[in-house]
Homo-oligomer: A and B are copies of this chain.
């Protein structure tokens, strides 16, 4: 190993744990009106994007998150045509959404244009669908965007945001979920990243509570591995106005596009919470 490597650690106070990477150099940094974005080169994980010091993604493992934020919801909805992504400025979720040929339009609304500019530069593979005719990239306030969405116009809303502090704080409360509820059709699905199933279950319960106050009454929290996030184990939570989370297994199996983590079996298993999680969510 060359002598210029250093170790960058990120301490996660809420989980009492830390994750670190061996870094070769800082590649870029920009202070946007909203947050500081830094790009590092690592020895084993490709490039890293940090926002206000918090790890957002690595070249090596982002496929886990992006596939699980999109495919479970899109294979659960009977025929998703209109998708909205709130946040998601790195464009990785957008790319996965657009792999579904039935999707007619996908709007990504991230408040911070600089996230997308940095992704284009340092994670170009995530941005390869940005030119798709079905894609719309907005740089605006996601809370306002959802509040102004025509009622009953959206099939799937994906909230692909940072944690509930700073710019993303407004994406984790009843008012925002009410906008999502109103914008979604009756069979629509809301998806949100929902933190560590092992260590942050209270946060998942609070999120489901706020979603419930907004009218959603069916929930599923799907765990998946995500090495670069606290505890290395993450989750997304799906919410519906009614109905369940049975998914189009045959379509998932014969999906006609490549995935690196998502399979029909992984989807099915993620729908069955480990007993400790089922208990914690019920408790």
Chain A residues in contact with chain B, CB under 8 A?
1, 7, 9, 11, 13, 15-22, 42-45, 60-61, 63, 198-199, 223, 225-227, 231-233, 258-263, 265-266, 268-272, 274-276
Contact = CB atoms under 8 A, between A and B. Distances in A.
Nearest to A265: B272
A33 B191 CA distance: 53
Given A272-B266, A274-B263, A274-B266, A17 B9 contact: no
Contact of A18 (B7, B15, B223, B266): B7
Contacts of A233: 225, 227, 232
A211 B199 CA distance: 37
A18 B9 contact: yes
A243 B116 CA distance: 50
A11 B6 CA distance: 11
A20 B22 contact: no
A18 B198 CA distance: 19
- Copy number in this complex? 2
A80 B44 CA distance: 41
Contacts of A199: 44, 60
A11 B16 contact: no
Contact of A274 (B19, B21, B260): B260
A20, A43, A198, A227, most chain B CB atoms within 10 A? A227
| Shortest beta-carbon contacts, A-B, top 9 | A232-B232, A16-B44, A269-B269, A18-B20, A260-B276, A265-B272, A16-B22, A16-B43, A225-B233
A17 B227 contact: yes
A44, A45, A225, most chain B CB atoms within 10 A? A225
Contacts of A275: 258-261, 263
A104 to B, nearest CB: 27
A112 to B, nearest CB: 27
Contact of A11 (B7, B42, B260): B7
Contacts of A271: 265
Nearest to A199: B44
A72 B274 CA distance: 15
Nearest to A43: B16
A22, A199, A274, most chain B CB atoms within 10 A? A274
